[in-house]
Structure 1
Amino acid sequence: MFVVVGEALVDLVGQRGGRTWVAHPGGSPANVALGLARLGNPVTLVTRLGRDAFGDMVRAHLAGSGVRIDPEPDGAVPTSLAIATLAAGVASYDFRIEWDLGALAPLPVETRCLHTGSLATALAPGRAHVVDLLERERERGRATISYDPNVRPALLGEPGSARPEIERLVALSDVVKVSDEDLRWLYPGRRDEEVARAWLSSGPAVVVITRGGAGVYAVTRFVEVRRPAIPIDLVDTVGAGDSFSSGLLDGLRRADLLGGPRREALAQIDHATLLSIVDAAAMVAAITCSRPGADPPTRAEVDAALEARQG
């Protein structure tokens, strides 16, 4: 089972300068949970939702694909919003969010992977409880820990003040996915491959960098993979990185590389397996980019697209 911890919210998506906005269920961790469920994985999302119209929309969207939500929506809090402004299909964000889950219980014993990131690991007071959970689960050693910083500069202040906490979470993780855009903000002037290797030396088994139109770079202690982007008819990039994360974790699960007892096997993943997993994750993201909003594909859609590309 996967457990994802983090925000679920509504994306209000519109064109820059426009007057029409469309509401889509979103939130980076929620999108990852949705993607995992559509790929056929049992997944629980630990999040904060209001018992309001937006919360009802998000809950129905997630539950309709099989995501279990914990705890139940709370009538005393509003559902959070992200305002996504599109320019040439690329989204920039403004947030209206409150994040406080309180103390988090240990993961169920059947959990093989814990994923988190984005606002859940950046916003007080909730981030302290998320970090505490990661530290406890790392010490228990039962689950693979996955982390995507998904940097939101408007909420983080200066890169120099954000880096230490992000690096702390990288060191607690087994799998780290990050975008080249995030790395340019965090480490201006440094090559992303250099940063990936520095992060790798701090603890993770695998670091993966998504580069938009320039493809994907993945590295472990023993192998590295560079892959070009998959050509698509771009609609928008909302949820693209989250879809990649869900595809990446699904691929690692299918390769039997998740769970504490598989930590060393994950660190020693071979080139062919990593290549196959990265390509499938890229296809998940590509399909998402070909339609509006964070609408990740099903297992059948991904398998059909991979078969068509190979054929």
Structure 2
Amino acid sequence: MFDRLEPLVIGECVADIVRQPDRADRVHPGGSPANVAYGLARLGHRPTLLTQLGADGHGRLIRDHLTAAGVGVRTDDASVPTPSAAVTLDGQGHATYAFDIGWTLGPVPLDRTPGHVHTGSIAAVVEPGAATVLAALESLRAAATVSYDPNVRPALMGERARAVDRVERCVELSDVVKASDEDLEWLHPDEDPERVAERWLAAGPALVLVTRGGAGAFARFPGGRITVEAPAVAVADTVGAGDAFMSGTLHALAAHGLLGTDARDRLHAVDRDTVADVLRHAIASAAVTVSRAGANPPGPDELREALGVN
């Protein structure tokens, strides 16, 4: 049995228009924070997503997708169009993106104070909505643990120095940070990823996770460093893999009682075996997702099967 989270996820929804050689275009609900909320709901949690969705076909598609899984959706302005991204897949299933996205999220009253808050991607750097996200983190972190995934999209990050400053501020406000090696290469091209993770850990988080695609992932935590390899898997595409890794991370941390209002001290004292278990869950979640098309994370039975647990 796991501790069921009722987290607040803040960030964008995106209609992913997937283009692949010799196939018709397909539209998948996407957006990194939305994918994390969906992944958590698939694993039995009850997330609320604070986002923007238009009153258009893509918006209805995404809202129906999220609510069917059990995600509560809160929006501030239905007059804006639903963001979209053209996702082009190469012959190996690797994705490149071209975006049509605006992010103007304003303050939205909450009916409760969440025990955990997650955010990331363009929602934390693209103005004017990013100011709302940062203010929310600053006001909520006294009562909630916080997770963050920069999920860098270079075409949308704006001026590099300003984007880096915003990412670093979000890291400082977070307890759990996940980034890919590609994220770190864009943010700090002259700094080794190991060094960035070490520096980020010193800035305040309890746990910094760095994904490396098929090579697995490593974690830095107060007790040291650990690496877990990824299993061999036939890749359909990589859409949503990092988001599934994030939802798997939060699911495992919740199972260990390390997220929520009263869990911060325990999280910052996390031990090596627990971190290894969290990484195994996160990598297994991502492995299931890349084995099939689109951002399609596992349910609990699929995750247990991927972990080899009866």
TM-score of Structure 1 vs Structure 2, range by shorter chain? over 0.9
Matched, 1:121 2:124: yes
Map 1:128-277; keep pairs closer than 5 Å: 128-138=131-141, 141-277=142-278
- Alignment check: 8 A CA contact 1:150 1:178 kept: yes
User: Structure 1 304/92 Cα, relative in aligned 2: closer, same or farther at 3 Å?
Assistant: same
User: Structure 1 188/107 Cα, relative in aligned 2: closer, same or farther at 3 Å?
Assistant: farther
Q: Shift of residue 36 of structure 1?
A: 0.2
Q: Match of 1:170, as an amino acid? A: V
Aligned equivalent of 1:66: 70
Aligned equivalent of 2:3: none
Deviations 1:156-214 (A, max 9, x none): 24533321111011001111000000001111132111100100111111100001011
Distance, in Å, in 1 between the alignment partners of 2:157 and 2:41 is 30
Deviations 1:120-172 (A, max 9, x none): 1121111101101111112xx21111100000111124533321111011001
Matched, 1:285 2:280: no
Deviations 1:19-52 (A, max 9, x none): 7311000000000000000000011011111111
Deviations 1:212-235 (A, max 9, x none): 011101011113210111210000
- Alignment check: 8 A CA contact 1:106 1:133 kept: no
5+ residue gaps, structure 2, are 1-5
Q: Shift of residue 99 of structure 1?
A: 1.2
* Secondary structure of the corresponding residue to residue 11 of structure 1: strand
User: Structure 1 123/112 Cα, relative in aligned 2: closer, same or farther at 3 Å?
Assistant: same
Distance, in Å, in 1 between the alignment partners of 2:158 and 2:88 is 20
Deviations 1:210-267 (A, max 9, x none): 0101110101111321011121000000000000000000111110001232111101
Distance, in Å, in 2 between the alignment partners of 1:194 and 1:270 is 21
- Alignment check: 8 A CA contact 1:3 1:43 kept: yes
Q: Shift of residue 85 of structure 1?
A: 1.0
Distance, in Å, in 1 between the alignment partners of 2:276 and 2:247 is 16
Distance, in Å, in 1 between the alignment partners of 2:108 and 2:195 is 35
- Alignment check: 8 A CA contact 2:76 2:108 kept: no
Matched, 1:81 2:100: no
Distance, in Å, in 2 between the alignment partners of 1:225 and 1:173 is 20
Distance, in Å, in 1 between the alignment partners of 2:160 and 2:102 is 22
- Alignment check: 8 A CA contact 2:10 2:133 kept: yes
Q: Match of 2:134, as an amino acid? A: V
- Alignment check: 8 A CA contact 1:104 1:130 kept: no
Q: Match of 1:14, as an amino acid? A: R
Q: Give TM-score, length-normalised by structure 2.
A: 0.94
1:8 to 6, 13, 23: 13
- Alignment check: 8 A CA contact 1:159 1:187 kept: no
Distance, in Å, in 2 between the alignment partners of 1:188 and 1:205 is 24
2:30 to 11, 26, 41: 26
Q: Match of 1:15, as an amino acid? A: Q
Aligned equivalent of 1:94: 98
Q: Shift of residue 73 of structure 1?
A: 7.2
1:51 to 30, 50, 55: 55
- Alignment check: 8 A CA contact 2:76 2:106 kept: no
Aligned equivalent of 2:107: 103
